Structure 1
Amino acid sequence: MNTRTKILSAIGLGAAAALALSACSPPGSSNASDTVDNGDKQAMKMVVFNGWDEDTAASELWKYVLEKKGYDVELDYADPAPAYQGLAQGDYDAVLDTWLPNTHKAYMDKYGDDLEDLGSWNDQASLELTVNADAPIDSLADLAAHKDDFGGRIVGIEPGAGETKIVKEKVMKAYGLDDWELVTSSTPAMLSELKKSEKDGKDIVVTLWRPHWAYNAFDVKDLEDPKNALGDNESIHTIVNEDFGDDFPQALKWLQAFKMDSDTLYSLEDALVNSGADQSEYQSIVEKWVADNEDYVDSLTASK
């Protein structure tokens, strides 16, 4: 075999191998030959809010997608206050769960000069005070008169959450609930109490938000808010540090174009949070979910 023939043969074998690898790639993924120019950096650190399941779902999905494109993505779970501080200082590159214009307004007012808003990916978000479906009231205006039914307690989430601040400073004052107790600990603890109350047939009021898988899992209703103390419906935004566009120019374009409706989000949230798995197993769950949602996942990186 002459030299030219050997070269052509090697090229042919390489092409065949590449095709074989491509055929074995999972849906929504990209093999190494499809990776993009990621800019100056490949290592990306995203911060995820503790207890915010929509943030867990969106962040774990983007970790999967970006790593298939050649990035190395680390997810760090934290409360909002240190998350925004770290983002502004450059310790984190992005957060996918900023609720505007109300819930996280104080953090954006404080750190916004060092951050960039890439726009909203879900416009169906709202803060809620939620009760069991057969509770004796339908409105926050009637809550004070039913203190005994609910034990004078509102079961909340993390003390540093934006919703906690709004409920404490606005909702409780607006509806004469100053003598009520706002119990704060964590989102899992709140959901545990909600589950127990449903099992025991007892009335409970909790701080909740849409979109959330709890609306599929429990028989609950949101209380009307005639004084609009919880604020209007919100949008969920992707926020990055000021250097993100220089460090990750292609990822910037993809995240700017990112959209996810609530039904799709519920599906992924439910698959992750109610799987019984710990965080170390989330990527394998995402991979299975991607296989059932291939067209949607492929669309996330369709923009150039």
Structure 2
Amino acid sequence: MKKLSVSLLAMMVAGSAYAADMGAVDEPIKLAINEWTGQHVTTQVAGEMLKAAGYNVEYVTAGMMNQFQAIADGDITATLEIWSSNVSDEYAKKIDEGTVVEIGDLGLDAKEGIAYPAHVADLCPGLPAWEALKDCAQVFATAETLPGGRLVDYPADWGTPGADRMTGLELPFKAVPAGSEGALIAELRASTERKSPLLITFWQPHWAMSAYDVQFVELPAGEEACFNDPAWGPNPNAVNDCDFSPSRIFKASWNGMEEKWPAAYEILSNYQLAVEDQQPMMGAIDVDGGKVEEVVAEWMAANEDKWRPVVDAATQ
């Protein structure tokens, strides 16, 4: 099912509900800022929508994996870009407790996987088929990983999805966590400029997918049985011998938000952001050196028809 646009969704909301109460407008709504540029864009757009509605907004730096206790305690009001393939056990615990609640999908069409710049296919014949990595791991080897190849995985506090695939598929690679999203981009840039080998855990939407012609390795389909039943898949002795699960990107809030800020809760619940809107803003920041606040402000001014109806539906 195709996701509704922000504008269409807003018109539906406007036609079927009355404006919510504003609630505690004198108290700031605190939005989590996590470790990657896309999330900064997502959160800043949401924050500006709340400000346009008349709320005070604060941005709180928080690790993606460990932010949920702060949300459960009400120290952070909401987090707006959670990837289903990279969510912590702590999140599930807080959802079960009812201290954190999901507030809808963000609307981004997403994919995560093991990836490489397109030129690497010439260095490892057989790509994009995952089996090719068995025979050319030495191409990716470094002093740190010999005799295996090197996979540049997500930063350590994002989890270890790349390492899990190397183990599950019995690939002779050592997963080395990147220091940050910026470090992942630096690896892609250096590999592209030098035409050197690189295997990386990566995702879309991201401006680097097109800038560096990044391709995904074709892994066995990421079905639920893969993550629970060792007998499923090419390795009968391990789980995770498959691709990432199809990613759902969603939002969550403190369970007291709806009562304390009803209109804000409605705005964030109905807020969606399309890939074609987020990705250019990411490029304007990471490639062109723009500031998040300025890039988002420019987008907000040029695209009021995409966000204003959501605000109006909740407040008028």
Q: TM-score, normalised by structure 2?
A: 0.77
The answer to whether the 8 Å contact 1:141/1:175 transfers is no
Q: Percent identity?
A: 21
> 1:175: Cα distance to partner?
1.8
| Alignment partner of 1:189 is 2:183 | yes
Which residue, out of 280, 287, 302, partners 1:292?
A: 302
Q: Partners in 2 of 1:178 and 1:172 — Cα distance? A: 7
Structure whose alpha-carbon radius of gyration is higher: 1
Q: Which moved more, 1:173-182 or 1:71-80?
A: 173-182
Report the AA paired with residue 152 of structure 2. V
Q: Is 1:225–2:219 an aligned residue pair?
A: yes
Match of 2:209 in 1: 215
Tell me the residue number matched to 2:146: none
Structure 1 distance, partners of 2:216, 2:244, is 14
Deviations 1:44-66 (A, max 9, x none): 1111211x222111101112221
Q: TM (normalized to structure 1)? A: 0.79
- 1:134-283 aligned within 5 A: 134-136=119-121, 137-151=127-141, 152-161=149-158, 164-168=159-163, 170-177=164-171, 179-226=173-220, 228=222, 229-277=242-290, 281-283=291-293
Aligned equivalents of 2:150, 2:216: Cα separation in 1: 16
Q: Secondary structure at the match of 2:51?
A: helix
| Cα displacement string for residues 14-69 of structure 1 (whole angstroms, at most 9, x for unaligned residues) | xxxxxxxxxxxxxxxxxxxxx9852024401111211x222111101112221122
Question: Any conservation in 1 of the 2:40–2:292 contact (CA below 8 Å)?
Answer: no
Shift in CA distance, 216/55, structure 1 to aligned 2, threshold 3 Å: same
Equivalent position to 2:52, from 68, 73, 90: 68
> Judging changes above 3 Å, is the alpha-carbon distance between structure 1 residues 227 and 182 closer, same or farther for their aligned structure 2 residues?
farther
Equivalent position amino acid for 1:249 in 2: P
> Secondary structure of 2:156's partner?
coil
Contact 1:156–1:187 (8 Å) recurs in 2: no
Structure 1 unaligned segments of length 5 or more: list them.
1-34
Q: Where does 1:11-22 land on structure 2 (aligned, <5 Å)?
A: none
Q: Counting helix residues as a fraction of each chain, which structure ranks higher?
A: 1
Superposed CA RMSD: 2.1
Say yes or no: does 1:129 pair with 2:114.
yes
1:126 touches 1:209 (CA, 8 Å); kept in 2? yes
The answer to whether residue 74 in structure 2 is matched with residue 80 in structure 1 is no
- Structure 2 runs not aligned, ≥5 long: 1-18, 122-126, 142-148, 223-241
8 A Cα contact 2:71 2:254, kept in partner: yes
In structure 2, the CA distance between the partners of 1:291 and 1:179, relative to structure 1 (3 Å rule), is closer
Deviation at 1:222, TM superposition (A): 0.8
Indicate how the Cα distance of structure 1 residues 123 and 69 shifts in structure 2: closer, same or farther if over 3 A, else same. Answer: closer
Q: For 1:80, give the aligned amino acid.
A: M
Contact 1:47 1:92 survives alignment (8 Å): yes
The answer as to whether partners of 1:96 and 1:239 remain within 8 angstroms in 2 is yes
